[in-house]
Structure formats: C-alpha cells, structure tokens
Amino acid sequence: MKYWLNVGFLEVAQLVPVARTAEDLGFEGVALADHLFFPAQVDSPYPYSADGAVAWPTAAPWPDCWVAIAALAQATTRLRLTTAVLVAPLRDVFSLAKASGTAAGFGPGRVSCGLGAGWLREEFDIVGRDFATRGARLDEMIDALRQLWSGETVDFAGGQLSFGPVQMRPAVPALPILTGGNSPAALRRAARNEGWIGTYTNLDDVGRLVGDLGAERCTAGRSGDAFETLLAATPGVLRHVDALDSLGVDGLILPAVALAASPSTDDVLAGLGRFAERWLP
C-alpha cells in the first residue's frame, strides 16, 4: 500500500515543510483539496457523511491547487503531487489547461490531475455555471484538456464545450487524469481515464465499488491499461489495509491534520513521523 497525504486545511506557510518532511519519510505523494470559496449558506448535502453535514470548519484555508503544486514541486524531488479532487466544471477549460500544464512543468513526471464533478450547488450558482450539466461538461473538459496540452492547433465541438482552432503553449506531456466520486457515473468516468479517487465508506462498499469499476473498465476496453486506485480515508481505515490491498486499492490519501495532535506545524510534522515509524518501510 502507498500512502498519500491530504494537506487540506493546512495554512499556506505549512505546505512546504510538510511536503518536504513527507518526502523524507517515504510518503508516496501529497494531494490538494479544492473549493473556490465556501458559501455562507450551504443547503447542498455533503455526499460522504451520514447526515449530509460538512465535516470541516468553513473558515479552513483552500489555497489554489496549481499554485501550491508548482511550489511543492520545486521544494521536493521525488514526491508525487495531485489534486484530489479539483472541481473542474467550475472553471473554464483554457485556464485549467494552462494552470495544470504550467504547474506540471515544475515537476515533470510527478504531477497528475484529480478531477471531479463537484457536489456544492451553491458554488456553481455563484459562479454562474450550470450544476445539472456538470458531469457532461467534465467529460468534455477531459477530452479538451488532452488536446490543449498537446501544443498543437486544435478545435473542439461538443454539447457543452466548443472552441477553436487554438494553440496553447507550452506543450506538456499528457498528464494522468484520475477522476473522483463514488457514484455510478463517476465510476464510468474513471474507467475511461487513468485512475479513480474514491472516498472510503466501509469495506463492503469499497469492495462493491472496486468490482463495479473493474466491470466498467472492461466495458470501456481499458482493462489492460495502467490504472491507479486511490481512496481518501481517515486513519481509522488503516485496520483494513490488508483487505484493501487484496481488493486492488493502490493507495490511501490520509489527512495530515488527522495524524496530528493539533494543526500546528510542529504537531503535524510529529504526527507524520509517528505514522512513518508504524506504516512506512
């Protein structure tokens, strides 16, 4: 099993020391969570809690993922970096292609795109994006991103997105795209790309999701392609590591703050050290 850190809810000034320590200790990578902002009034149910309530303080920091990834890529040499997940349909595809491709240039071979459709309707309403068509828009954005990263003159015509001919530079080798979500539509989307970032619910449910994902990959003709399965989870899931490994889960994304006694930098770094002593070879 490979272990990633979700550095969500850390202050910007903490990101570099946490990433450097994670690399030194042998963590696989660092994941950046995403919201553009958090509306003052939230009625949308959070899909990964039993009661639909948001489990984090609304005042938590949400630094820009691509700015942070560029900085962390320069501060480390081995550590992998991903968004987990970025709410792509909130953005225009050109800004997303430019930002992700530029950030990847600071850490060649170490950056991937974790993209999701999003759950917070109010966030979409405020930026003027249609919530109902976010999944279809994400699917088209993924296709368009791969074309824009090529550096060639390209055009695109879809039901949600149309442009061209345009050329975006600098070109960047196509980034691995892992898509997030536990819904059937999310699994179908992941099956067509390079990986899945799911959210741990319980062991039986994960087994079902992984099985459904495998079936979708067969249907998509992608069963023989390289694929990465990651689960966002709390430290309590560590008791199921052997079972998850046998299911084919490649890595766990654990919140750095959940490994610590407090959110202070010293406590977070100490928490990483304790985790490494127990779980990292």
Query: pLDDT > 70: what percent of the chain?
Result: 100
- Nearest in space to 3 (alpha carbons), one of 32, 31, 28: 28
- Are 184 and 178 within 8 A, CB to CB? no
d(CA 210, CA 208): 6
Which pLDDT value is given to residue 143?
98
Q: How many CB atoms lie within 10 A of CB 149?
A: 22
Domain count, the chain: 1
Note the pLDDT of residue 180. Answer: 98
Q: Which candidate, 197, 147, 156, places its Cα nearest to that of 175?
A: 147
Tokens in use for 19?
């990433």
**What is the domain extent for residue 202?**
2-279
pTM exceeds 0.95, yes or no: yes
Output the pLDDT for position 59.
Answer: 81
169-178 exposure pattern, b = at least 16 Cβ within 10 A, e = fewer: eeebeebbbb
- Asked if 72 contacts 103 with a C-beta cutoff of 8 angstroms, the reply is no
Categorise residue 165: left if φ over 0, alpha if ψ from -120 to 50, beta otherwise.
Answer: beta
pLDDT tens digits for range 79-119 = 999 999 999 999 999 999 999 999 999 999 999 999 999 99
Rounded Cα distance between 132 and 20, Å, is 40
Take residue 202 and report the two structure tokens written for it: 């319980």
Answer whether 180's CB lies under 8 Å from 197's CB. yes
- How many residues does the structure list for the chain? 281
* Per-residue model confidence (pLDDT) at position 241: 98
Q: Which residue is it, tokens 């002593």?
A: 277
Q: Note whether 148 and 175 are within 8 A (CB).
A: no
The distance in angstroms from the start CA to the end CA of the chain is 11
pLDDT, mean of each 10-residue run, the chain (281 residues):
96 98 98 94 92 84 97 98 98 98 98 98 97 98 98 97 96 96 97 98 97 98 96 97 98 97 97 98 84
Nearest to 72 by CA among 125, 131, 1, 23: 23
Rounded-to-integer distance, Cα 160 and Cα 137, Å: 6
- So what's the pLDDT on residue 54? 87
Domain CATH for 258? 3.20.20.30
